[in-house]
Amino acid sequence: MLSGGLDSILATQVMLEQGIAVTPVHIKSGLTYERRNRLTDRQASEESKAERAARMLGLDLVSIRAFQDYIPVVLNPKHGYGSQMNPCVDCRIYLLRQAKRWMEQHDHQFIFTGEVLGQRPNSQLRQALRTVERGSGLEGLLLRPLSAKLLEPTIPERRGWVERDNLYAFQGRSRRPQMALAQEFGITDYPQPAGGCCFLVDKTYSRRLRDFLDHEGPDALTTEQALLLAVGRHLRLPSQRRVVVGRHQGENAHIAGLQDQGILMTTLDAPGPTTLVSGDPTEREIEQAARITARYSGASDRKAVRVKLLNDDGLSTIITVAPLAADEIHSLMI
């Protein structure tokens, strides 16, 4: 299981050092990102990180998209949530089940991960590791090379497929042992620790997701919508229509690519954000969204601002509006 982070890179190298034939598998939930490149690319940045790691290791990456099947796990986690809407234990079980299916279909013998005992409180405590192993159906076949000496021997170790003496006993949150091992292996090209994260642990994202589920429902949650929840400012008009306003160039570019999702707008008289009004808004809703767009533009101090509208047919119109008062916008924020 290759995420592309330092731990999974090291776990893979440990297996390669023992002469084991490895196929890196990456399950793409569509809900993770790299901190340094958050929300600026319409393609989930987790993919490029895993691909870079596989290329560095000289392996061909197997990528499995799993977003739609993953949604029920997010909505109804058997083992509950973490601090926000992050179902960490259920997430690990789900991802490993996908990997197990691939393993069985392609005549592989066991699965290993870069998990480290005690590194994460929700999914890597000893009891959580056992729960994940049982829930995924991989009892005895799930190896954690970086902490193996602190855990019960697995089938690969007992049968001699893997030399237990050449595995490790890393534990806790410090990454210094991993960084030292990377230096020993001559591995220098890897993401910095804590370089990636799950959207679902973010307080703002979780609040927006709950709002989306309340208003649009779980059936409307697509990969595209899940990523959009992490982009820009989100507001609900008095009619409950959702409006998304870009905060910088990267987000504006992302929103501009969503022409089929509703009405796009931006200001003409001064630089301003790109705004998406979802669905099929009324004239009143379009006017309100245009006033919000004007408020976040460089013309916010003017009494009248021209706003260009672009519908999903590619037709554009121009309306003139007064920027909405800042306190009124605050009351609409999700």
Supply the DSSP string of 253-269, one letter for each residue.
HHHHT-GGGEEEEEESS
User: For residue 40, what pLDDT band results from cuts at 50, 70 and 90?
Assistant: very low
| Residues 111, 65, 125, 113, CA torsion sign | positive
User: For residue 45, what pLDDT band results from cuts at 50, 70 and 90?
Assistant: very low
Which residues share a beta bridge with 333?
Answer: 235
Cβ atoms of 50 and 32 within 8 Å: the answer is no
- Which of 189, 198, 167, 194 is CA-nearest to residue 54? 189
- Among all chains, which residue has been given the structure tokens 């989930």? 44
Q: What is the pLDDT of residue 34?
A: 55
- Which of 247, 198, 250 is CA-nearest to residue 226? 198
- Which of 33, 67, 27 is CA-nearest to residue 254? 33
Q: Write down the H helix ranges in the chain.
A: 6-17, 45-57, 67-75, 88-105, 126-135, 155-158, 176-185, 203-215, 223-228, 249-256, 283-295, 326-332
Q: What is the pLDDT of residue 194?
A: 54
- What does the alpha-carbon distance between residue 107 and residue 58 come to, in Å, rounded to a whole number? 21
Strands (E) in 25-172, as ranges, are 25-28, 32-34, 62-65, 111-112, 142-143
- Residues 134-163, mean pLDDT to the nearest whole number: 98
Q: What is the pLDDT of residue 54?
A: 96
In the predicted structure, residue 36 carries a pLDDT above the cut 50: no
In the predicted structure, residue 233 carries a pLDDT above the cut 70: yes
In the predicted structure, residue 303 carries a pLDDT above the cut 80: yes
Q: Which residue has the higher pLDDT, 43 or 160?
A: 160
**331: CB partners within 8 A, 6+ apart:** none
The percentage of residues in the chain with a pLDDT greater than 90, rounded to a whole number, is 84
- Among all chains, which residue has been given the structure tokens 């008009």? 237
pLDDT in tens, 210-225: 999 999 999 999 889 9
In the predicted structure, residue 39 carries a pLDDT above the cut 50: no
Q: What is the pLDDT of residue 196?
A: 53
- What does the alpha-carbon distance between residue 192 and residue 36 come to, in Å, rounded to a whole number? 10
Summary count for the chain: helices (H), strands (E): 12, 12
Q: What angle do CA 237, 227, 35 make, to 5 degrees?
A: 120
Least confident of 38-42, 102-106, 112-116, 305-309: 38-42
- Among all chains, which residue has been given the structure tokens 């699965």? 111
In the predicted structure, residue 33 carries a pLDDT above the cut 70: no
- The residue type of 140 is G
- Residues 125-135, mean pLDDT to the nearest whole number: 96
- Among all chains, which residue has been given the structure tokens 């009324």? 282
User: For residue 44, what pLDDT band results from cuts at 50, 70 and 90?
Assistant: very low
Strands (E) in 89-215, as ranges, are 111-112, 142-143, 196-198
Q: What is the pLDDT of residue 154?
A: 98
CA Rg value for the chain: 24
- Which of 91, 110, 109, 83 is CA-nearest to residue 29? 91
- The residue type of 11 is A
| Residues 222, 210, 251, 5, CA torsion sign | negative
- What does the alpha-carbon distance between residue 295 and residue 15 come to, in Å, rounded to a whole number? 56
Go through the domains of the chain in sequence order and give each one's CATH number: 6-198 (3.40.50.620), 231-332 (no CATH)
Structure tokens at 64: 């499995």
Share the mean pLDDT of the chain.
Answer: 92
- Which of 43, 71, 46 is CA-nearest to residue 61? 46
**289: CB partners within 8 A, 6+ apart:** 237, 241, 243, 263, 265, 275, 277, 281
Structure tokens at 100: 């197990």
pLDDT in tens, 181-210: 999 999 998 887 654 578 999 999 999 999
- Residues 123-145, mean pLDDT to the nearest whole number: 96
**157: CB partners within 8 A, 6+ apart:** 143, 148, 164, 167
pLDDT in tens, 244-302: 999 999 999 999 999 999 999 999 989 999 999 999 999 999 999 999 999 999 999 99
- Other CB atoms within 10 Å distance of the CB of residue 88: 23
